[in-house]
Amino acid sequence: MKTIKSVIGGAALLLAAGTAALAARTDLVVGVVLEPPHLDPTASAAAAIDEIVYANLFQGLTRIGRNGEVLPSLAESWEVSDDGKVYTFKLRTGVTFHDGSAFDAEDVKFSLDRARAEDSTNAQKQLFAAIDTVEAVDPATVKVTLKAPQGSFLYNMGWGDAVIVAPETADANKETPVGTGPFKFDGWAKGSAVRLVKNTDYWGDAVALEKAEFRVIPDAAAAIPALLSGDVQAFPQMPAGDALAQIESDPRFTVKIGATEGETLLSTNNGKEPFSDIKVRQAIAHALNREEIIAGNGSGYGTPIGSHFSPANEAYVDLTGTYSYDPEKAKALLAEAGYADGFKATLKLPPPPYARQGGEVVASQLRQVGIELEIIPVEWAQWLEQVFKNKDYDLTVISHTEPNDINIYARDDYYFDYDNPAFKEVMNTLEATADPAKRIELYKTAQKIIAEDAVNGFLFQLPKVGVWDAKLEGMWENSPIQANDLTEVRWAD
Amino acid sequence: MIAYLIKRIAIGLVTLAVASAVVFCVLEIVPGDPALLMLGMNAEPEALAALRDEMGLNQPVLLRYVDWVSGMMVGDFGRSYTYSSPVIDLIAERVLVSLPLALMALFLSTAIALPVGIFSAARRGKAADTMVMGAAQVGVAIPNFWFALLLIYLFAVWLRLVPAGGFPGWGAGVWPAVKALIMPAVALALPQAAILARVTRSAMLEVLGEDYIRTARAKGMPRRIVLWHHALRNALIPVLTILGLQFAFLLAGTIIIENVFYLPGLGRLVFQAITQRDLIVVEGVMMLLVATVVLVNILVDIGYAIVDPRLRTRR
């Protein structure tokens, strides 16, 4: 057997060497865990859609870069009026959609109006809420007037939900997406893979890959052999679990632990006894040992957080010390709140390992201070229905993966049931502020308020465990937005 | 024979009707809002309402049931909530994976099990019988997903003879598609073959103890002929029953194997549809499976009648 293997291996090596001498590879198979329900990023919250089409197939006026920065995309440049209410975008010229039709200001107007229309099914409709009118001044100029100044407007236009689509093809994008990006849609074998090919008429720098395939591999046990056999060359988010150490020690692969926008929380029902008492929430915060929770979260990676903000963001403040791990103090606070003997509550856990496994660690830590948690595993659909929609819960572990979403704490009737006028005030000021330095200060204040109020147990930033062939260059290490941008990916010669 | 067939078909139709009501009711009760699941945590109430309208979820239950059943009569299974394509297309795509896989596995398991079972029965109590049945016992005990992982590590990761999983589609050519199904078929077939071999053996042994076998031998008929002609035919009824059950299982119950090999088959479709509350797809696949089971049962009944002429006249 050994000799058979080395003969086959030798032949494979020869073959590989032969092709490598000719040219670098130009095809790539990327493994993804979830299959997208369809391929229209403007009609669903499913991250699985953006993880295929964002920046590859579809583009917006702006785009989010690999470090979370706002970059020009279909808008070459823009001017903002002094009152911060009028944005004049200068569009790129010579851009065509994949079906050959030309891109111009009317497409931008159509896309933005469609997303904010009354019967729109856009999952992030609030991104467009500030828009008052959209006007196509000439084919290469679009003027967007806001109802009030909005500091995050350019960032909002970089979301996958704000990509520009053509009126003629918009309705068919779910099955046959037509965008302006450097890759074209080639085919979708349902349940199996989505294939893209290089767009030879692309307006910008051509991509190095000729073909890219996103292959759906939902099972961790299947992902490892797929990687080891070379069938799949990259997993931007590897469901590796315990097998990660095996891959890390293999020189054929690169393993990069990056950051996501996923703040993982012990979400707390602030409107319900006894959690409506701040002393109880502070006690919970003191009872949580983040290092232990991260060690038990399924991947063993993650950055501790003390508020609802990504450590990768420049406005981040480290607030993990606000209520440091101190079980004695937690017990004292519980006694002060009138729960000297602790109390019983439920902990609803959705399916991802960080929740199911991390949640068990949380439950054992809270037991140390006298809070007995009954663990109730729920499916996604149940979680959304019971916890998120009907607030029928005490505690739950969940990662909030939308980027820059601290404003959810200002929402009325959100599932945290948190209501602090001071925080809402900060968010309102932030919305109306465009000056970057002032915005950073406001973000910092906001982080401190929710940390001190101990709204939720702030656990850790969800890691992005990326694994790919060591010869592959240009993959994103972090995921500042839900995307697998392949535009700069190439095989090293 | 005709009366026998008509009765079987009538029972089948009643089963289908009852199943459609049960499937529909059960899925009505399951909690979870498909629209909320699609739009996620940032959805605004008006966007949700618009989507619910678009999906037809606001109509009364009874009306939706009648719509659904009458649609199915003319081959319209409705539109998937999540994939926005017709359910029938989704099912057709998946059947192109699941059906060949099930047939390959069934063929493999029958081709292994029948000769092994007959061989064992003919050598009852001898060393060969003990060994073969011991192996079959191990085959029954091994979980098929574990066996599948062994196959993957041996043939895909180590020898690199076949892909570790996935399905290129029939468009990629017959051989690549068949190649992708070989390992899953083997992983499915071996445990089934082990069960089938044991059933074949015990059915054969029972028949071999009958008087007419002794008579046939006594009148000087060669052992081989008695075994293959007289005994096998009479032993086939339990074997057919198991085969029918196995086919239904292979078509729909292969979700674990489909996950290990990430094959886009029917099992995966149902699983995915349930987690995403794509109820119309779940309902469609369920009905298809019920129909398949009913059809297989009718075929098995016809099979009984062919092997055992007495059944043709009896009720």
- Asked whether residue B7 is domain-assigned, the answer is no
CA distance linking residue A275 with residue A343, whole number of Å = 11
- Out of A6-10, A34-38, B48-52, B115-119, pick the least confident: A6-10
Q: Above 70 in pLDDT, residue A458? A: yes
Instruction: Report chain A's terminal Cα–Cα distance, integer Å.
Output: 33
pLDDT band at A412; cut points 50, 70, 90: confident
A221 and B163: CB-CB below 8 Å?
no
Query: What predicted TM-score, i.e. pTM, was given to this entire model?
Result: 0.81
- Out of A269-273, B105-109, B251-255, pick the least confident: B251-255
* Torsion, Cα of A170, A172, A176, A179 (10° steps): 0
- Asked whether residue B35 is domain-assigned, the answer is no
Interface test with A, best of B27, B29, B38, B42 (most A CBs within 10 A): B42
Q: Above 90 in pLDDT, residue B27? A: no
Q: CA angle, corner A359, sides to A358 and A363, nearest 5?
A: 120
For A155, the 3-state DSSP assignment is: helix
Q: Above 90 in pLDDT, residue B109? A: yes
Name the range with the highest mean pLDDT among A115-124, A319-328, B245-254, B295-304. Answer: A319-328
What is the token pair recorded at A88?
């004049």
A381 and B31: CB-CB below 8 Å?
yes
pLDDT band at A241; cut points 50, 70, 90: confident
B164 and A35: CB-CB below 8 Å?
no
CA distance linking residue B245 with residue B261, whole number of Å = 23
Residue range A6-62, pLDDT digits in tens: 444 444 444 444 444 456 889 999 999 888 888 999 988 888 899 999 999 999 999
Which of residues B203 and A3 earns the better pLDDT score? B203
Q: What is the pLDDT of residue A409?
A: 95
Q: Tell me the mean pLDDT in the region A130-156.
A: 92
- Out of A302-306, B17-21, B274-278, pick the least confident: B274-278
Which of residues A384 and A397 earns the better pLDDT score? A397
A191 and B259: CB-CB below 8 Å?
no
Domain count for chain B: 1
Q: What percent of chain A has pLDDT over 90?
A: 70
Q: Above 50 in pLDDT, residue B228? A: yes
B46 touches chain A (CB under 8 A): yes
Residue range A276-317, pLDDT digits in tens: 999 999 999 999 999 999 999 888 889 999 999 998 888 999
CA distance linking residue A354 with residue A266, whole number of Å = 11
> What backbone torsions phi and psi does residue B231 show, to the nearest 5 degrees?
-75, -50
User: Taking CA atoms, what residue in B is nearest to A411?
Assistant: B42
A381 and B269: CB-CB below 8 Å?
no
B32 and A174: CB-CB below 8 Å?
no
Of A216, A221, A231, Cβ closest to residue B260 = A221
What is the token pair recorded at A198?
């290089």
Same fold for the pair A47-172 and A261-463: no
CATH fit for domain A47-172, picks 2.30.40.10, 3.40.50.970, 3.20.20.70, 3.90.76.10: 3.90.76.10
Interface test with A, best of B37, B48, B162, B179 (most A CBs within 10 A): B37
- Asked whether residue B82 is domain-assigned, the answer is no
All structural domains of chain A with their residue ranges: 27-32+176-258+464-491, 47-172, 261-463
User: Taking CA atoms, what residue in A is nearest to B163?
Assistant: A231
Q: Tell me the mean pLDDT in the region B6-23.
A: 91
| Neighboring chain A residues of B269 at a CB cutoff of 8 Å | 191
| Whether the bond into A352 is cis, omega within 30 of 0 | no
pLDDT band at A4; cut points 50, 70, 90: very low
A222 and B272: CB-CB below 8 Å?
no
Q: In what order do the strands lie in the sheet with A141-146?
A: A75-80, A86-91, A141-146, A131-138
Q: What is the pLDDT of residue B140?
A: 85
Of A122, A175, A384, Cβ closest to residue B36 = A384
Asked if B252 and B102 touch (Cβ cutoff 8 Å), the reply is no
A126 and B44: CB-CB below 8 Å?
yes
Give me the domain span that covers residue B241. Answer: 89-313
Q: Tell me the mean pLDDT in the region B247-267.
A: 84
Q: Which among A362, A355, A347 is positioned nearest to A380, based on CA atoms? A: A355
A114 touches chain B (CB under 8 A): no
- State the average pLDDT for chain B: 86
Q: Which residues share a beta bridge with A86?
A: A145
B82 touches chain A (CB under 8 A): yes
Interface test with B, best of A50, A219, A376, A387 (most B CBs within 10 A): A219
Q: What is the pLDDT of residue A6?
A: 47
Residues 98-117 of chain B with CB under 8 A from chain A are none
Residues 343-402 of chain A with CB under 8 A from chain B are 379-382, 384-386, 388-389, 400, 402
CATH code of residue B233: 1.10.3720.10
CA distance linking residue B145 with residue B3, whole number of Å = 44
Of A38, A216, A382, Cβ closest to residue B32 = A382
Burial class from Cβ neighbours inside 10 Å (0-12, 13-18, 19+) for residue A131 reads: buried
Tell me the C-alpha to C-alpha distance, in Å, between residue B215 and each of B61, B122, B212, B219.
Answer: 65, 17, 5, 6
| Neighboring chain A residues of B37 at a CB cutoff of 8 Å | 380-381, 384
- Asked whether residue B47 is domain-assigned, the answer is no
B262 and A219: CB-CB below 8 Å?
yes
Q: Tell me the mean pLDDT in the region B182-188.
A: 92
For A116, the 3-state DSSP assignment is: helix
Q: What is the pLDDT of residue B314?
A: 57
Q: Tell me the mean pLDDT in the region A112-120.
A: 91
> Hey, what CATH class is A27-32+176-258+464-491 in?
alpha beta
CA distance linking residue A421 with residue B125, whole number of Å = 85
Distance from CA of A340 to the nearest CA of B (A): 36
Distance from CA of B167 to the nearest CA of A (A): 7
CA distance linking residue A104 with residue A96, whole number of Å = 9
Does an H or E element contain A349, and which? strand A343-349
pLDDT band at A372; cut points 50, 70, 90: very high
Q: Tell me the mean pLDDT in the region A62-90.
A: 92
Radius of gyration of chain B, Cα coordinates, nearest whole angstrom: 24
Q: What is the pLDDT of residue A64?
A: 93
- Asked whether residue B84 is domain-assigned, the answer is no
Distance from CA of B135 to the nearest CA of A (A): 24
pLDDT band at B249; cut points 50, 70, 90: confident
- Fold for domain A261-463? Dipeptide-binding Protein; domain 3 (3.10.105)
B151 touches chain A (CB under 8 A): no
Radius of gyration of chain A, Cα coordinates, nearest whole angstrom: 24
- Asked whether residue B261 is domain-assigned, the answer is yes
Q: Above 80 in pLDDT, residue A222? A: yes
pLDDT band at B253; cut points 50, 70, 90: low
> What backbone torsions phi and psi does residue B90 show, to the nearest 5 degrees?
-60, -45
Q: Tell me the mean pLDDT in the region B15-28.
A: 89
- Out of A172-186, B64-78, B245-259, pick the least confident: B245-259
A186 touches chain B (CB under 8 A): no
The CB-side HSE value for A480 (13 A sphere, CA atoms) comes to 18
pLDDT band at A490; cut points 50, 70, 90: very high
A400 and B41: CB-CB below 8 Å?
yes
A411 touches chain B (CB under 8 A): no
Distance from CA of B207 to the nearest CA of A (A): 45
Q: What is the pLDDT of residue A14?
A: 44
Q: Above 90 in pLDDT, residue B80? A: no
Q: What is the pLDDT of residue A9?
A: 45
| Neighboring chain A residues of B36 at a CB cutoff of 8 Å | 384-385, 388-389
Of B33, B156, B276, Cβ closest to residue A385 = B33
